[in-house]
């Protein structure tokens, strides 16, 4: 079995580590044995210790000390090269590659400095490199503006270097992949690939969808931060107005919020305040079970995020519940919902239009007439098992050809 060295700061128990975890979990099915470099401890605020049980027993996880502080601000600075994650990865990575007969290197961001660590290890050892960007880098809509201008200029050079040096470049949407190709300045897009995020079929074993609650239960699963705060706050304000104006009866509705809420508050004088149930951050399977027990799922994406697809969308789709999506009507997320036939799209520029949808679905719920007909074949293409197979193909190509795919 061939061996691949994973450079992944986000790895269990750190939250937001589903992508790397699922690749590590399923790569052995395709002839690849991962060795993972991950921090021993981290100040990252979201931890989920239940995910540790998903790491295959045969996988070797090397926990690096003195890496508690998450690198980047969020962009790379000179300080990131001097201590912590980057130098620890270089030192241990060289040792592992030389002693463990490593065949390839896989490095995933964030943090972006992980990609440069991969470049450094490739130069030092000659092993082929895959870089995987879970989000855009210098074009990331969440981290723009005058305060980041200097960092963006400096990081643009790092981004181009990483994209040019890598033997294969992966991102999570076709639009981001094309953007990275344009930034790279390379003559061919042959080594640029898209592997979407997805859902793990095993995560849905023993999770039963509740047919109907005593109250019409609307659920948002995931963090609300950055640009999405604006869309979420507008939606909550519109829902509160609908309740205040007796358009929606507060006795018959519940709003369940699962995850980290950044600066989202509900004034006590709001009628909405009394129907909100906020659970805070939950472990992954508990969060899925709560979503499965709801009647309507919510999705928020800011109008400026047309290339963005939150990783939660694939799990929402897999749950088979109706999804009210306040998102750009043209973009990656809208395409996924259209192909899977799982969502009702409301332009996130006009959150007020969502109230009409909620009223309609509420009436259907009372009459036991909410019906969804998901496109199961379209949903299955987002299985983490199948997506890991795509990564295995890329690894096979760069190791058999001795270079770029």
List, for residues 256-311, the tens digit of each pLDDT value: 999 877 777 788 889 888 888 988 888 888 999 999 999 999 999 988 877 778 88
If asked whether residues 149 and 171 sit together in one domain, one would say yes
Residue 353 maps to a domain: yes
Domain with residue 275: its CATH number is 3.40.50.2000
What is the rounded distance in angstroms from the CA atom of residue 133 to the CA atom of residue 2?
Answer: 23
List, in sequence order, the alpha helices (H) in 185-323: 228-244, 284-292, 312-319
Residue 20 maps to a domain: yes
CB neighbours of residue 29 within 10 Å: 11
List, in sequence order, the alpha helices (H) in 126-227: 149-165, 174-184
If asked whether residues 74 and 117 sit together in one domain, one would say yes
Instruction: Write out the residue range of the structural domain in which residue 323 sits.
Output: 203-380
If asked whether residues 65 and 122 sit together in one domain, one would say yes
If asked whether residues 137 and 243 sit together in one domain, one would say no
Task: Give the DSSP H/E element, type plus range, for residue 365.
Answer: helix 354-366
pLDDT on residue 381: 94
Are 113 and 72 spatial neighbours (Cβ–Cβ below 8 Å)? yes
Are 148 and 130 spatial neighbours (Cβ–Cβ below 8 Å)? no
If asked whether residues 20 and 151 sit together in one domain, one would say yes
Are 178 and 172 spatial neighbours (Cβ–Cβ below 8 Å)? no
Residue 405 maps to a domain: no
If asked whether residues 317 and 388 sit together in one domain, one would say no
Q: pLDDT over 90 for what percent of the chain? A: 56
Domain count, the chain: 2
pLDDT on residue 43: 82
List, for residues 347-384, the tens digit of each pLDDT value: 999 988 999 999 899 888 888 888 888 999 999 999 99
**What is the pLDDT confidence band of residue 404, given thresholds at 50, 70 and 90?**
low
């Amino acid at each position: 079995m061939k061996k691949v060295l994973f450079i992944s700061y986000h790895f269990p128990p750190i939250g937001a580590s589903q992508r790397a975890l699922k690749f590590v979990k399923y790569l052995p099915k395709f002839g690849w044995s991962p060795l993972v470099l991950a921090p021993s401890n981290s100040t990252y605020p979201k931890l989920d210790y239940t995910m540790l049980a998903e790491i295959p027993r045969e996988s070797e996880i090397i926990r690096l000390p003195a890496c508690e502080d998450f690198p980047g601000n969020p962009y790379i600075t000179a300080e990131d090269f001097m201590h912590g994650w980057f130098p620890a990865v270089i030192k241990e990575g060289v040792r592992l590659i030389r002693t463990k007969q490593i065949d390839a290197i896989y490095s995933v961001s964030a943090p972006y400095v992980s990609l440069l660590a991969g470049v450094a290890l490739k130069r030092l050892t000659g092993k082929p490199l895959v870089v995987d960007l879970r989000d855009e880098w210098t074009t990331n809509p969440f981290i723009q503006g005058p305060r980041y201008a200097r960092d963006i200029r400096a990081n643009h050079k790092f981004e181009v270097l990483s994209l040019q040096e890598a033997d294969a470049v992966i991102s999570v949407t076709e639009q981001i992949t094309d953007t990275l190709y344009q930034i790279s300045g390379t003559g061919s897009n042959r080594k640029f690939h898209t592997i979407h995020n997805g859902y793990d079929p095993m995560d849905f074993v023993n999770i039963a969808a509740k047919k109907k609650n005593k109250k019409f239960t609307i659920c948002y699963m995931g963090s609300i931060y950055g640009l999405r705060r604006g869309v979420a706050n507008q939606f909550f304000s519109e829902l509160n107005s609908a309740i205040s104006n007796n358009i929606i009866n507060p006795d018959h509705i519940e709003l369940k919020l699962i995850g980290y809420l950044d600066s989202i508050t509900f004034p006590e004088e709001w009628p909405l305040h009394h129907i909100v149930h906020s659970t805070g951050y939950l472990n992954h399977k508990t969060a899925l079970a709560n979503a499965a027990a709801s009647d309507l799922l919510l999705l928020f994406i800011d109008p400026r995020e047309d290339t963005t697809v939150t990783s939660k969308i694939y799990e929402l789709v897999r749950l088979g519940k109706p999804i009210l999506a306040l998102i750009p009507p043209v973009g990656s997320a809208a395409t996924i919902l259209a192909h899977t036939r799982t969502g009702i799209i409301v332009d996130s520029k006009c959150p007020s239009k969502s109230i009409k949808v909620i009223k309609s679905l509420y009436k259907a719920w009372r009459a036991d007439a909410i019906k969804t007909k998901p496109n199961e074949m379209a949903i299955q293409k987002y299985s983490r098992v199948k997506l890991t197979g795509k990564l295995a193909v890329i690894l096979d190509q760069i190791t058999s050809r001795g270079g770029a795919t």
